[in-house]
Structure 1
Amino acid sequence: MRCEGQPGSVLRHCGLFVLLLFLFGYILFPALKTLETSLTANGAFSFIHYKEFFTNETSRLPLLNSVTLGLLSVIACGSMGTSLAFAINFYEFPGRSVADKLLLLPLVMPGIIIVFAFVQLYGESGMVTKLLQLLLGMESPPFTLSGLTGILVIHAYTQYIYFYITVSIAIKQMDYSAIESASNLGASQTRVFFSIILPFLKPAIIAAAAMTFISGAGSFTAPSIIGGNFKVLTTQILLSKANNYMGIAATQVSILTSISILFFIVFRIYEAKSQFTSSVKGVLFRPVAIRNSLYRILIRSIVWIIIGSILLPMMTIVLVSFVPSSSWMVDYFPRVFTLDNYSAIFTSARKLQPFFNSSVMAIVAAGVGLIVAIPSSFVIVKTKLKAKWVVEFLTMLPWAIPPSAIAINIINAFNEPTIFSLNEVLVGTSILLPLGYLIRSLPIMVKTLNVSFQNLNEVYVEASKSLGGSNFDTFKNVAVPILFPGIWAGFLLIFIRSIGEYTVSVFLYNATNKPLSIAMVNGVFEYNLGLAMAYGTLLIVLTFLLSLIMSRFLGMSS
């Protein structure tokens, strides 16, 4: 692509070239380098790593476990998320709006915090586990939060949100007149559900299933902490990387990525074939009033019980943050409360450093993300360039790549000098971790900004210019007010997703930029649970406040 022609055309073409160069250099190129590494042995092209992988049962089992975990996560999260979406959005009852906002909380809660909270509640020595053991007079715990079952419980808690959001949106956009017409013609509620409602929702359910499978199969946090003997491919990738078997790690990453992309494509094809169009004039869906008092009480009770179970882990983290770490060595339940854990953080530069590191890296990731996402969204939404599909493909590609794979891709790409690293070796430096945060979060930032650009109606721009407004005045008075809420919402969303991120962090951090999530894990394994939970509480408070601000901006941009 050559930057020549009229000044405006030169600027556009050069800008597009730089954007494509960035997307290729930091998203596609790292993935290709990992593929190359997996196909190289002793400096020559070879399938030896793949042969060893598929002929070794010890290697194949984690792959089977990962696929199984992904599929079971779809079933568990689909059942929970879809049911809650129906209960909240299909029916009308008091407190529905509040319940809807509370059910979105797991979206902004870092996964590492949730895992630790579940362990503290439902682990072998967890408070709920021990309470039931004492009440029932049992000699051993009634259950343990470990293995496949424990991971699925945490996935159901953290990933139901994919189904809840997509199905909720689909229900709100449902054609109510089609439902009324079918009911007026004598169709039973069962017939209406399977012939009208389910076809409307099927594309949303399939889209959520694709995201949940990729997230489930590529899960690292829960399997690494409570997986026990249930080994998955992501934990094996870290083990290979830790032992410097980068050829094996690259092979594992390539296989996991290929499976994720394959399932993503299959789900998207099926989603496209499942589009449902009503032949009846569309009427905005209205929540249905529940006339049966017993059924109304049952629905409300189930919803609020689930909300309570969602809030309980977060409240546990806050509670434990005020308990001296030493007390857990002799007590199952907190007896003494103190501010010492917070005092230790704010009076020690070493203990405060991880919070500072994570904040700075999250700001960098979000800031650079905006620089990349704004022109990407503009090209995707507002232009008819032939290259727009390339921009959309590259910005959405990280959505189909598990976080552990993104981290290994970055390591393979920048463990030697390249044009994209300015001929420097970046492995071992502090720049890789915020880069990992950026790549992982870029798709959701672009999706957020796409909404803002779709709201930027060309009629407003032309009207401003016809009234004598300059390009600068039009940009300042028309474009900025429309785009600004989406830009800030995107920035805050990436900051929230990055500040407590664990999977990418465990692969890419070094001693100089240890993030908050790693400090929390270290605190737990060093028997300093109170300090770890104090970190977690600070993170919860920060993400909650920022999510409130983000919600306001998202509301302004929609």
Structure 2
Amino acid sequence: MEKLHHKSSFLKVAVISLLLWSLVGFILYPVLKTFQVSLITEDGLSIRHYIHFFNTQSYVIALKNSIILGVLTVVVCGFIGTLLAFLVHFFEMPFRKTIDKLLLLPIVLPGLVIVFAFVQLYGESGLVTKTIQTLQTLLGLDEIPFKLSGLSGILFIHAYTQYIYFYVNVSIAIRHIDRYTIEAARNLGATKWQILTTIILPFIKPAIIASSIITFMTGIGSFSAPSIIGGSYKVMTTQILLSKANNYMDIAATQVIILTFVSFMFLGVMRHYENKCRFESSVKGVGIKPQKINNPVVKMILMILAFSLVLFILLPIVTVFMLSFVKPGTWMIEIYPKEFSMANYIKIFTKSRSLAPFINSFIMALLTAILCIAIATPASYIIVKTKFKFKIMIEALIMMPWAIPASAIAINMINAFNHPTPFTGNQILVGEYILLPIAYFVSQVPLMFRTTTISFQNLNNTFIEASKSLRGSSFQTIRKVVLPIITPGIMGGTMLIVIRSIGEYTISTYLYTVQNKPISIAMVNGIFEYEIGLAMAYGALVVVFALVASVFISKIPKY
């Protein structure tokens, strides 16, 4: 018995040591290394690079633009996402279940695919743009009323891809609003405005704050839209890539640290505000029922709005699929493509060079998921099920990448692993195949951690104790009790990570090599080489994979 206890204690120490080694080596150490690089000059340690940054107008403008973009993204997406959440879940909207599923589509669609779809629709030579140009005379317009470029163009794309954070969180909050609390307020003579301001808004405020945090961080870390349609609107992510491309790694490191600092500052402020604004209903009842709309005019307006939303959401996806069948070299001058074929798909699946990016992305996405499972699962167990002294440190380390923009993660990887380190077995990883999936892992591990943490919270200790009391071995307890409960969460997290990794673009831009060129880079190359059909075929394959995976996730049983 004593020998088994000793063996179990040794195993726990080994797991915790390996976990801390991994988190410090691949999350904390790269951040510290980048900070060190930003301070190194010819004369030793100095803040000269920071002084240079704030004395260089283009850098300051890029920083200001990034902050403005982040704040405006929160405002625009907050308005759209919250409004949609109320329309679908607070009111009895026509076809609400179908609309709800469609509104969730952007969460599984890679941002790069959406950016290119919008360019093909609303860009200078886009389908919608060309259509409007032909109608200019009839409409009496001197110029097209919109332009998909600069700040407005980026926000337009952000509105499509990032409202989802507000929509999901506020929808959940609305479904949990206590119906009895509202009824009690009505019985006491409260007006609709008073109910809205004193009950509903305070109840959903935590959801809005949580959504604001992730939306701001996604906004200031946005790279696909600013790099492709940003034009003269320069932001920090594009400036970091420019510095890296010119081999000014000290400047790039400085820019990364400043952008990361802004992100952490916003996180700290919003977390503080969130803790002050916690609201809990004092009446424990049931969730609200969708409110009926008796006014036929309002109902008709909502139906028109519903169909408009469906069209707006589906149009980019339909565009990707339609253009993926465009015959190579045929769509040059005409407004709409006229010749279609399977040539782009045949090229992908018959030419090894064209198929390689898809296979690379799939393999690296699986490697990412495996690494995330290996780290997030024991970390979640330690946080939820043990009294380990330093579990707060483990949680802080594993959640740190959540507040670091993707561009910063990529630069951190370069600075940390461009020379031998103990964490890599004294190997240089820059230029190696494995560095890109490691970087994917660092960016995605907080998501897997949140998923596995919820799974372990659902694991009642009574079940484990009951298994032991029935003389079940540790292996039997894990196989028959623990795994059935935590596996659905792990599988769901795995599929989400594979979806998010397979179309990842920002980190890939910095770290890909000839050996692991991902599908996102192949898409960009296809666009710039005027192989639009081939690029859209890649995008269509990614979308199909994401949709199939999302259906699989929805079928996973919840414990």
- Residue 334 of structure 1 deviates from its aligned partner by 1.2
Q: 1:292: Cα distance to partner? A: 2.5
Amino acid corresponding to residue 460 of structure 1 in structure 2 = F
Q: Which region of structure 1 is more displaced relative to structure 2, 163-172 or 246-255? A: 163-172
1-structure distance, mates of 2:43, 2:323:
52
Alpha-carbon distance in structure 2 between the residues aligned to 1:33 and 1:185: 61
**2:184 matched residue in structure 1:** 181
Cα deviation code 1:39-84 (max 9, x no counterpart)? 1112610111101000111110000000000000000000000111
Match for residue 535 of structure 2?
532
Q: Is the 8 A contact 1:414 1:425 kept in 2?
A: yes
CA distance in 2, matches of 1:557, 1:445: 16
Q: Which amino acid aligns with 1:417?
A: P
Aligned to 2:425: 422
**Are 2:543 and 1:552 equivalent residues in the alignment?**
no
Equivalent of 2:488, from 468, 485, 490?
A: 485
Q: Tell me the equivalent position of 1:61.
A: 61
1:73 aligns with 2:70: no
Provide the residue aligned with 1:455 in structure 2: 458
Gaps of 5+ in 2: none
Partner of 2:270: 267
> What secondary structure is seen at the aligned counterpart in 1 of 2:234?
coil
Does 1:386 pair with 2:389?
A: yes
Structure 2 counterpart of 1:160: 163
Q: Which moved more, 1:325-334 or 1:14-23?
A: 325-334
Amino acid at match of 1:69: L
**Count of aligned pairs:** 553
- How many percent identity over aligned positions? 53
Q: Does 1:353 align with 2:366?
A: no
Q: How does 1:295-374 map to 2 (within 5 A)?
A: 295-374=298-377
Matched letter for residue 557 of structure 1: K
TM-superposed deviation, 1:293? 2.8
Q: What is the aligned counterpart of 2:296 among 290, 293, 297? A: 293
Indicate if the aligned counterparts of 1:407 and 1:508 stay in contact, CA closer than 8 A: yes
Contact kept, 8 Å, 2:93 with 2:302, in 1: the verdict is no
Residue matched to 1:216: 219
- Whether contact under 8 Å (1:124, 1:143) holds in the other structure is no
How big is each residue's C-alpha offset from its partner over 1:23-50, in whole Å with a ceiling of 9 and x where there is no partner? Answer: 1110111011001100111261011110
User: Deviations 1:527-548 (Å, cap 9, x if unpaired)?
Assistant: 0000000111111111110111
Structure-2 change in CA distance of 1:76 and 1:35 (3 Å): same
Determine the C-alpha separation between the residues in 1 that align with 2:34 and 2:310.
42
Q: Which moved more, 1:381-390 or 1:116-125?
A: 381-390
* Secondary structure of the structure 1 residue equivalent to 2:492: helix
What amino acid does structure 2 have at the position aligned with 1:258? F
Deviation per CA, 1:201-221, whole angstroms, max 9, x where unpaired? 111101100111111011110
CA distance in 1: counterparts of 2:558 and 2:282, whole angstroms: 31
CA contact (8 A) 1:85 1:164 kept: yes
Distance 2:56 2:333 in 1: 45
Alignment of 1:248-287 (within 5 A): 248-287=251-290
Is the CA contact (8 Å cut-off) linking 2:87 and 2:93 kept in structure 1? Answer: no
Q: 1:295: Cα distance to partner?
A: 2.1
Alignment correspondent of 2:134: 134
Task: Give the Cα separation in 2 of the matches to 1:166 and 1:450.
Answer: 18
Query: The residue matched to 1:6 in structure 2 has which SS?
Result: helix
154-163 or 484-493: which moved more? 484-493
Say if 1:304 and 1:392 are closer, same or farther in 2 by CA, change over 3 A: farther
Displacement of 1:140 after TM fit? 4.7
Moved more, 379-388 or 121-130: 379-388
Q: Where in structure 1 do 4 or more consecutive aligned residues deviate above 4 Å?
A: none
The answer to whether 1:228 aligns with 2:231 is: yes
**Does the 8 Å contact 1:130/1:141 carry over to 2?**
no
| Cα distance, 1:5 vs structure 2 | 8.3
Aligned counterparts of 1:528 and 1:58: Cα–Cα separation in 2 = 34
Q: Find out whether 1:541 has 2:528 as its counterpart.
A: no
Per mean C-alpha deviation after superposition, the further-off stretch among 128-137 and 496-505 is 128-137
What is the SS of the residue equivalent to 1:288? coil
**How far apart, in 1, do the equivalents of 2:489 and 2:458 lie?**
10
Separation in 2 of the partners of 1:328 and 1:446? 46
| Paired letter, 2:295 | N
Give yes or no for contact 2:49–2:251 (8 Å, CA) kept in 1.
yes
Could you tell me how far apart the structure 1 residues matched to 2:558 and 2:451 are? 9
Contact 1:87–1:303 (8 Å) recurs in 2: no
CA distance in 1, matches of 2:243, 2:363: 30
Q: Write out per-residue CA displacement over residues 119-167 of structure 1, whole angstroms, 9 at most, x where no aligned residue.
A: 0000011111111121232575442200000000000000001101111
For 2:405, which of 402, 408, 413 is the aligned residue? 402
Amino acid at match of 1:179: I
1:279-335 Cα distance to aligned partner (Å, 9 max, x none):
223323322222323223322332331232011101000000011242232212111
1:102, distance to aligned residue in structure 2 (A) = 1.1
Work out the CA distance in 1 between the residues paired with 2:194 and 2:94: 28
Is the contact between residue 221 and residue 503 of structure 1 (CA under 8 Å) also seen in structure 2?
yes
The Cα shift of 1:383 comes to 1.7
Note closer, same or farther for the CA distance 1:468–1:6 as it changes in structure 2 (3 Å cut): closer
Q: What letter is aligned with 2:301? A: L
| Contact persistence 2:19–2:379 (CA under 8 A) | yes
Q: Contact 2:94–2:306 at 8 Å: present in 1 too?
A: no
Change (3 A) 1:75 1:506: same
Report the equivalent of 1:111: 111
> Is contact 1:456-1:482 (8 Å) kept?
yes
Q: Which moved more, 1:524-533 or 1:330-339?
A: 330-339
One-letter identity of the residue aligned with 2:248? Y
Post-superposition CA distance 1:245-271 (Å, at most 9, x none): 000000000000000011011111111
2:122 matched residue in structure 1: 122
Report the CA distance shift for 1:495/1:52 in structure 2 as closer, same or farther (over 3 A): same
- What does residue 207 of structure 2 align with? 204
Identify the residue that residue 92 of structure 1 maps to in structure 2. Answer: 92
TM-score (norm 2): 0.97
Q: In structure 2, how many angstroms separate the alpha carbons of the residues matched to 1:285 and 1:386?
A: 42
